[in-house]
Amino acid sequence: MKSNFKKGDRIRLISMPQDPDPIPVGSLGTVVAVHDHRDWIQVEVDWDNGRKLMLSLPEDRVAIVEPNHHEPSK
């Protein structure tokens, strides 16, 4: 499986169904590394809420946030 994600991409979480302590839906994060495997992709993410939790794709779902997207103030 080949990833469309690259280091530095900003992403928004859509769903993380199998994690017992998931990141909240809608959370934003920055891709740190991408590991392509045969049938799945592992994406290391630094989430804006301070957590560091990997995604397993295609099971977890995220969207890339466009660079010109205006994020709400914190």
Q: Reduced to 3 states, what is the DSSP secondary structure of residue 40?
A: coil
For residue 71, pLDDT over 60 is answered with no
Question: pLDDT digit string (tens) for 8-29?
Answer: 999 999 999 988 888 999 999 9
pLDDT band at 30 (very low <50, low <70, confident <90, very high): very high
pTM for this structure?
0.81
Which helix H or strand E contains 27, and what residues bound it?
Answer: none
The terminus-to-terminus CA distance of the chain in angstroms comes to 35
Q: Say what the pLDDT of residue 69 is.
A: 54
Token pair listed for 31: 């891709």
* pLDDT score at 62: 94
Average pLDDT, the chain: 88
